Structure 1
Amino acid sequence: MKAEQRGNASVSLQNPTLFNNTLHSPLSGALNGCLGSLDGACLEKLLLHCASALETNDVTLAQQVMWVLNNVASSVGDPNQRLASWFLRALISRASRVCPTAMNFNGSSTIQRRLMSVTELAGYVDLIPWHRFGFCASNSAILNAIQGFPRVHILDFSISHCMQWPTLIDTLAKRPEGPPSLRITVPSSRPPVPPLLNVSTEEVGLRLGNFAKFRDVPFEFRVFDNSSSPSTLGEVAKCKESPSFHFESLLAHLNPSTLNLRDDEALVINCQHWLRYLSDEQNGSPHGASLRDTFLDIIKGLNPQIIVVVDEDSDLSASSLTSRITTCFNYLWIPFDALETFLPKESCQRMECESDIGHKIENIISFEGFQRIERLESGIKLCQRMTNSGWVSIPFCEETVKEVKDLLDEHASGWGMKKEEDMLVLTWKGHNSVFATAWIPNGLED
């Protein structure tokens, strides 16, 4: 493999005989068998060997395995090679912090991501149905829940900068009885994860307002931060984006007064790829509950008409590094493989999308404690959590199922959808990728 085809983070080894030493180590059979192999299982095995060495502070073995990985992983190779190159980068990042004086590296492990324009963000969302699946399923469930209501208030928790709402606004404009008055409230800051946008939340709200005006939908966009009551778009200077994000502070402001809830509105809670950023550790919150459970309890107390929860269908909360690598490697293979079907290997758009996934990998693999913010749980575990928290699931109607299927027809043939109890699950070649669920507070169904 040519040097220029390797990943940006490469291991610098001073000992020219290290390769021979590697082949004579106790792992020689496994490592030798992987040289020249592009098999995903073999790459996963190498990653696990490296992780195990780091967990036992075996610096020499970690360097040896990284050397091998650096020669079989590639940022412009096949999906397994490209995925492995990001895992290698994450392991290098972890090693450089755990034992900085013992490890020598070329390149930076910090992933730099440029800011997108709104137009670029739209293209990003359309690339694969990772986000659009959730938008489609959620919007359909929301429309069913707000039938007959003249005023609707959406409390939006998401990482996609309100890209979900133009489609909903367009559909509301066509409602036979006329569109409702729509209000959307968002927090002023979001988890510091891709996609990142080069305009403020307020600017996004202005654009939504212009679109709603064009479609004759009465519209209001409000932003609330952690230190003041919700601000209108005219108070931009008082509500700036925060470079960091603290859920503890956010939870204190989720109350009817701060959110300016109104009795004559149907309240909708929208959680798109959001819950995983709330810590699931049972500390730092009242009664020993996790921030995730506390958030759900607070939201339930607001008595919403519906809450929709969409997230990636994988369990990446394990404390063991090797367990996280196994699950993460086999799960995040999905978007790498999907991108392979329609974008050239050296496509800039493809590389940028993969770098966003690399951001996730680095956080899952490189960090522990409060610095590891990616704590996914599977759809099944989320459903059990919601039930335990006093929520009742709402099945998706056949019309919603049809709309999602029509959406997937616009994408590669490998994408599919299945129903698991009341969940809708996006699949790639039969593998679960994203789940969508809808809930109401226990008792509201009466």
Structure 2
Amino acid sequence: MLYDASPIFKLGHVAANFAILDAARDHPKIHIVDFDLSQGVQYASLINAVSERSRHRSLTLLVNITAVCDPTMPYNTPSTVNNLKIIGDKIVTLASRFGVPVRFSVLNRRASELERASLGCEAGECLAVYLSFALSRIADESASPANPRDQLLRRVKSLGPDIVKLVEQEMNANTAPFATRFGEACGHYGSVLDSLDATMSRDDRGRFRIERALGRKASNSEKGHTFVLKASCSG
């Protein structure tokens, strides 16, 4: 609901998708490694843009999407793999309507075990890593001595991607002192709430549900919880 209602998230994904297309301008294939597929709505603008590019260049651009399901991540559950496959089928169906060939797969493996071979990377393709609202929900050195967030970033770097697509909240909800967390939470969630004025009236019941959920997330971030965007990103 938040993605549909707030232009902030759509604009973030659209800008990131065009960055991917720019990185892939000299490649016949795009391979996207996605660490948080969520509901897959972010791919609608990419599919539309690929369709337009293929039409103007008379060249079909192949898209390969690999959704990584790391069983150690807190937002992944035993049912996540099946859910990802269902969402992937919807993405493939949408792409077929635009004449864009999309291959979708799910890789149930720890991020620390990822390699180009296990991802099925091919020669000549543009490798893009999609980190959309994932880092803010992974523990850093302040929450875990293992620092899984930096481990993930090091593994991503080792893959040698052509581009890393990062869409993230501009707010520190993990390591900052309370006063700083409080101020940043007010600024971040205040901007998100204000953005709803562009698409929804103040008396819209859907808006009430979104504002209530955002209020809970804002409260959690002020308390210093590590995983503050779970409901917002999935909605």
TM-score range, shorter chain: 0.7 to 0.9
Q: Does 1:308 align with 2:162?
A: no
Q: Does 1:157 align with 2:40?
A: no
Distance 1:145 1:152 in 2: 9
Identical aligned residues as a percent = 23
Please name the residue that 1:126 is paired with. Answer: 4
Matches within 5 A, 1:407-422: none
| Structure with more of its chain in helix, by fraction | 2
Q: Does 1:225 align with 2:108?
A: yes
Amino acid across the alignment from 2:172: D
Q: Contact (CA 8 Å) 1:159, 1:191: kept in 2 or not?
A: no
Q: Does 1:135 align with 2:7?
A: no
Give 5+ residue unaligned stretches, structure 1. 1-120, 227-249, 376-446
Please name the residue that 1:295 is paired with. Answer: 152
Residues 343 and 259 (structure 1), Cα distance of their counterparts in 2 relative to 1, 3 Å cut: same
Instruction: Report deviation, 1:142.
Output: 0.7
Q: 1:263 aligns with which of 109, 123, 134?
A: 123
Q: Does 1:148 align with 2:148?
A: no
Q: Does 1:252 align with 2:106?
A: no
Distance 1:344 1:212 in 2: 32
Q: Does 1:203 align with 2:66?
A: no
Q: Contact (CA 8 Å) 1:134, 1:272: kept in 2 or not?
A: no
Instruction: Report deviation, 1:167.
Output: 1.9
Q: Does 1:170 align with 2:48?
A: yes
Instruction: Report deviation, 1:257.
Output: 3.5
Please name the residue that 1:99 is paired with. Answer: none
Instruction: Report deviation, 1:184.
Output: 0.3
Q: 2:132 aligns with which of 272, 282, 285?
A: 272
Please name the residue that 1:183 is paired with. Answer: 64
Structure 2 residue matching 1:213: 3-state secondary structure: helix
Distance 2:61 2:199 in 1: 40
Encode CA deviations 1:387-443: one digit per residue, 9 max, x unaligned. Answer: xxxxxxxxxxxxxxxxxxxxxxxxxxxxxxxxxxxxxxxxxxxxxxxxxxxxxxxxx
Instruction: Report deviation, 1:341.
Output: 6.1
Normalised TM-score (structure 2): 0.80
Matches within 5 A, 1:44-443: 121=1, 124-158=2-36, 160-174=38-52, 175=54, 176-188=57-69, 192=75, 200-226=83-109, 250-281=110-141, 283-285=144-146, 290-340=147-197, 343-366=200-223, 372-374=226-228
Distance 1:125 1:311 in 2: 13
Structure 2 residue matching 1:183: 3-state secondary structure: strand
Structure 2 residue matching 1:299: 3-state secondary structure: helix
Q: Contact (CA 8 Å) 1:159, 1:274: kept in 2 or not?
A: no
Distance 1:167 1:154 in 2: 14
Residues 277 and 217 (structure 1), Cα distance of their counterparts in 2 relative to 1, 3 Å cut: same
Distance 1:267 1:310 in 2: 17
Please name the residue that 1:92 is paired with. Answer: none
Distance 2:198 2:13 in 1: 23
Distance 1:256 1:201 in 2: 21
Encode CA deviations 1:53-89: one digit per residue, 9 max, x unaligned. Answer: xxxxxxxxxxxxxxxxxxxxxxxxxxxxxxxxxxxxx
Distance 1:165 1:356 in 2: 24
Structure 1 residue matching 2:19: 3-state secondary structure: helix
Encode CA deviations 1:331-386: one digit per residue, 9 max, x unaligned. Answer: 32222233356644442211121133134224323455xxx3249xxxxxxxxxxx
Amino acid across the alignment from 1:131: F
Q: Contact (CA 8 Å) 2:37, 2:67: kept in 1 or not?
A: no
Structure 2 residue matching 1:313: 3-state secondary structure: coil
Amino acid across the alignment from 1:264: G
Aligned residues: 219
Amino acid across the alignment from 1:363: N
Normalised TM-score (structure 1): 0.44
Residues 251 and 341 (structure 1), Cα distance of their counterparts in 2 relative to 1, 3 Å cut: closer
Distance 1:341 1:266 in 2: 36
Structure 2 residue matching 1:269: 3-state secondary structure: strand
Distance 2:101 2:120 in 1: 17
Encode CA deviations 1:225-271: one digit per residue, 9 max, x unaligned. Answer: 23xxxxxxxxxxxxxxxxxxxxxxx3233222432222332211111
Amino acid across the alignment from 1:153: H
